Amino acid sequence: MRIYPWYDIVDADEVLMQGDLISSCPVIVPSSSIGVGRISAEIIEYDVIVMSQSCDLAHHKLDNVLVSPIWPISEMGSENDFFKSRKGKESLRQGNLPGYHLLNRCELEGFVADFQVVDFRNVYGVPLDFLIDLSKRNGKRLRLMSPYREHLSQAFARFFMRVGLPVDIDLFK
């Protein structure tokens, strides 16, 4: 039987692909008023996963890379009890929480991690050249393998294409 591993470890100088996990990615949040001169800005850091398509990344067809924050499921659980419950975890596993996506545990040496949750509601655009530099500085990184990265991408598409109806059909009783 073929084995389909979820993750692989790639070298720092490998080309960036969809599904690459980048740790401590900074995002600049500027102060409300921006003008020429000195301003203060806040930097927030997240562990992220690359959502942009690999072909766009490989051919530099974009300036900004779409990334989604990822969280260990235990940290999500400490913010919201639903993620601690069996029902919550099972809903997550089955894809019934549209804004979130579950990634499997990683048991690769040096990259051991619990289940992780991808947050589709808070995506960021990070300049491609900056992200390439950051990934090189971070060293070896984890890569979500096929078909799990396409599964992630599909989950994001499903989240993004949702339509809320102003008047829904009543529940059948």
Partner 1 sequence: MSVSQSKPYPQPGTKEKVDSKEAFADKTNLEDLIEYDIVVRMPPKKRYSLEMDVRGIVKAKPKVTLPEAI
Of 14 and 56, CB closest to partner 1: 56
Of 43 and 112, CB closest to partner 1: 43
- Judged by the rule CB under 8 A, the positions of this chain that interact with partner 1 are 4, 24, 27, 34-47, 61-63, 69, 71, 75-76, 79-80, 82-83, 87-88, 90-91, 93-99, 102, 104, 119, 121-122, 155
Letter string b/e over residues 124-156, b meaning 16 or more CB atoms within 10 A of that residue's CB: bebebeebbebbeeeeebbbbeeebbeebbebb
Of 35 and 110, CB closest to partner 1: 35
CB of 51 to partner 1, least distance (A): 17
Pairing of the two strands 64-72 and 100-103: unpaired
CB of 79 to partner 1, least distance (A): 5
CB of 95 to partner 1, least distance (A): 4
CB 25 within 8 A of CB 45: yes
CB of 31 to partner 1, least distance (A): 9
Phi and psi at 90, nearest 5°, equal: -70, -40
Of 17 and 103, CB closest to partner 1: 103
Letter string b/e over residues 79-118, b meaning 16 or more CB atoms within 10 A of that residue's CB: eeeebeeeebbebbeeeebeebbbbeebeeeeeebebbbb
137 alpha carbon, distance to own chain's centre: 20
Of 29 and 112, CB closest to partner 1: 29
CB of 43 to partner 1, least distance (A): 5
